[in-house]
């Protein structure tokens, strides 16, 4: 019971983190396709893995009963997705050290102290963000999160399989029929 609830929770977490990843990476794929250019491998690998991972997560949530019955197979596929997400994150690794945003401020700053108290003029702050860099970095982070999420569900399924196998009881009924060859 609790294993099923935990499994469902982590599956929903996977779906919640895969949908924004799909949207952000689809933006890049669409942009490159409209420009008639090949999509770079770093974007394409994580996009394909995210599409397949989202489809798998939704399918296993919908078919929870059969997921529980074939827990070893689903666990194996989840471990395959862990490896695929590691590959996708590895391909997108160059974005990890990128600086996608910065603050800029006016250089004026003044403080006045007089009989009425202290008054000042603070600089205005502006946030400058590179949208494409930020979306790649967010996809990178969501890819790492999904590596962990798929590993958690794989181990939960192994636990569910083990406990499910232990819960089964085999009852055999033995009956003996006595036959006598005497015809008295």
Confidence of residue 17 (pLDDT cuts 50, 70, 90): very high
As a whole number, the mean pLDDT across the chain is 84
Tens of pLDDT, residues 44-82: 999 999 999 999 999 998 887 777 778 889 999 999 999
Whether 61 contacts 144, CB under 8 Å: no
What integer pLDDT is reported at residue 51 of this predicted model? 96
Whether 160 contacts 28, CB under 8 Å: no
CA 47: distance to chain centroid? 12
- Residue 133 reports pLDDT greater than 80: yes
Beta strands in 19-129 (DSSP E): 101-105, 110-114, 117-121, 125-129
Confidence of residue 166 (pLDDT cuts 50, 70, 90): very low
Whether 51 contacts 84, CB under 8 Å: no
Model pTM score: 0.74
**Parallel, antiparallel, or unpaired for β 117-121 and 110-114?**
antiparallel
Confidence of residue 179 (pLDDT cuts 50, 70, 90): low
- Residue 95 reports pLDDT greater than 50: yes
What integer pLDDT is reported at residue 84 of this predicted model? 96
Confidence of residue 87 (pLDDT cuts 50, 70, 90): very high
DSSP state of 39: P
- Which of these ranges, 61-65, 117-121, 135-139, 179-183, has the smallest mean pLDDT? 179-183
Q: How far apart are CA 24 and CA 4, in angstroms?
A: 31
- Residue 145 reports pLDDT greater than 70: yes
């Amino acid at each position: 019971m609790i294993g099923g609830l935990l499994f469902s929770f982590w599956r929903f977490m996977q779906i919640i983190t895969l949908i924004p990843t799909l949207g952000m990476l689809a933006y890049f794929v669409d942009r490159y396709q409209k420009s008639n250019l090949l999509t770079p491998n770093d974007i394409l690998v994580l996009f394909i893995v995210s599409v397949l991972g989202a489809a798998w997560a939704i399918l296993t949530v919908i078919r929870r009963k059969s997921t529980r019955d074939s827990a070893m197979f689903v666990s194996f596929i989840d471990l395959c997705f862990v490896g695929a997400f590691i590959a996708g994150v590895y391909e997108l690794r160059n974005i990890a050290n990128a600086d996608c945003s910065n603050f800029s401020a006016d250089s004026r700053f003044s403080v006045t102290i007089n009989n009425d108290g202290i008054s000042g003029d603070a600089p205005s702050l502006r946030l400058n963000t590179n949208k494409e860099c930020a979306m790649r970095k967010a996809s990178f982070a969501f890819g790492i999160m999904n590596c962990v999420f798929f590993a958690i569900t794989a181990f939960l399924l192994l636990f569910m399989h083990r406990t499910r196998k232990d819960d089964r009881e085999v009852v055999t009924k033995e009956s003996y029929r006595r036959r006598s060859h005497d015809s008295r």
